[in-house]
Amino acid sequence: MKRVVPERKYCLLLLPDLQGIISAEKMRMKRIFSFLFLFIIINLAATAQQDPQFSQNMFNHANINPGAVGAGEAVDISLISRIQWAGFPGAPKTNIFGANAPFSLWGAQHGAGVEFMSDQWGYFENVNVKLSYALRKEVGNGNLGVGFSLNFFNWAIDPSNKNGELFLPASDVAIPSSKVSKMVTDIGFGVFYKDRNFYAGASVSHINRPAVKSQDGQSEMFFFERHYYLTAGYNIQMASPLFELKPSIFLKSDPTGVRGGQIDLNTNIVYDKKHWGGISYRLNEGFVLLLGTELANGLRLGYAFDITTSKLTAGTYGSHEFHIGYSIALQKKRKRKYKSIRYL
C-alpha cells in the first residue's frame, strides 16, 4: 500500500493555524495562572500575617498593646522600619512612627499615644492611624495600665504596583482595572503591668473584625482577623554592676492557622545601660541577631537581622529591622533631658 504523505505546501498552510492555537492556549493558561495567583494573594491577605511582624518587640509594646502607652515617665518617640524577607518578590515593607506619654487628670494617671503605619506587600498597602488611651494605676511595686485603641485603616490594592518583581498586566480580567481603596475602623484592648525589673502584658487587636466591602457593597474583599498577644520580660542584674541580662518572651496567635502563630524567645545583654546585644529564637522560622546603643544625646539606635531557616531560605536574604527611639523626661528636677533605654 502506497503511503500518503501530505504535500509540503499543505503543511505550511497549517502552520499559522497551529501557531494561533498554541498562542491562544498560552494566553488561556496565562489567564488561568494569573487568576490562581491573584486568588492565592487575596486568600493570604485575608488569612495570613495581617499585623506586621517585628523582631525588636521588647522595644515595641505600645504598637501591640494600648495598655502600655504612658508606662514610662517620659514622652517616648519611636520610628521602626522593617524589610521582611529581603530579595523575595513583593515582600512586606513596614514603617511605623509613634509617640506616647503619661499624664495626670482629675486626680488619676493616664497614658495616651498616636501611631502612623504604612505596611506594603505585593499589590497591597495598608495605611493605619491609631489612637491609644490607657488608665494607669499603681499596683504593688509597679504600675498597671488598662487601655483601648481606635484604629483607622485605609486598605488598598493597586494592580499597577510594581513592588519588587511582583507585577501582572492590569488588562488581565482577573485583576482589578484600577486601584481599589477602602477605609475601615477597628478597636483593640490590652493590659500591661511593669515594675522596676519585670513586665507582662496581654492584648488583642481587631476586636470587631472589620471587613472591607466590594464596590457594590455586596461581598467582602478582605477582613481583619483578631490577633492575640502575650509578652513578658525580666531584668537580671549580673555579678558585675555594669551588665544586665534581659530575657523576654513574645507570643502572637494566628487564628487562621497559616503560620501557627509566632513565639519569640529573646535574650539581651546590656552593658552600662546603654549598649546591648542579643539573640532571639523564633519557633519554626529561624534566629534573630539584635544590636543597639544609646548615644550621648539620648538617641537610641537598634538593629535586628532575621536569619531564616524555614523553607523561605532559598528565596530570601533574611529580614532587616531598624529602630530609632528618643525619650524626653517629664520630671522637672531631672538634669538630663532623656531617659536611658528601658525594655520595660
What CA dihedral angle connects 334, 336, 341 and 344, to 10 degrees? 10
Q: What cell numbers appear for 236 in the block?
A: 537580671
| 111 touches 102 (CB < 8 A) | yes
pLDDT of 343 > 60? The answer is no
Q: In b/e form, how buried is each residue of 305-322, taking b as 16+ CB within 10 angstroms?
A: bbebeeebeeebebbebe
Per-residue model confidence (pLDDT) at position 214: 62
Q: What cell numbers appear for 157 in the block?
A: 490594592
Range of lowest pLDDT (246-255, 285-294, 297-306): 246-255
d(CA 53, CA 51): 7
User: What are the structural domain ranges in the chain?
Assistant: 48-329
Sheet strands (E) in 90-215: 93-105, 108-121, 124-139, 142-157, 180-194, 198-205, 211-213
User: What's the mean per-residue pLDDT of the chain?
Assistant: 77
Per-residue model confidence (pLDDT) at position 231: 94
Q: What percent of the chain has pLDDT over 70?
A: 68
pLDDT digits (tens, 9 = 90+) for 39-85: 444 444 444 457 888 899 888 899 999 999 999 888 999 999 998 87
Q: Of 326, 325, 264, give the one whose Cα is nearest residue 80.
A: 325
Per-residue model confidence (pLDDT) at position 205: 92
**pTM reported for the whole predicted model:** 0.75
d(CA 92, CA 292): 23
Q: CA of 45: how far to CAs of 182, 195, 202, in Å?
A: 15, 38, 25
Mean pLDDT (whole number) for 302-311: 85
Class of domain 48-329: mainly beta
Per-residue model confidence (pLDDT) at position 285: 82
Per-residue model confidence (pLDDT) at position 21: 47
Residue 46 gets the label, from left (phi > 0), alpha (psi -120 to 50) or beta, of alpha
pLDDT digits (tens, 9 = 90+) for 5-27: 344 333 433 444 545 544 555 45
Name the pLDDT band for 169 (thresholds 50, 70, 90). Answer: low
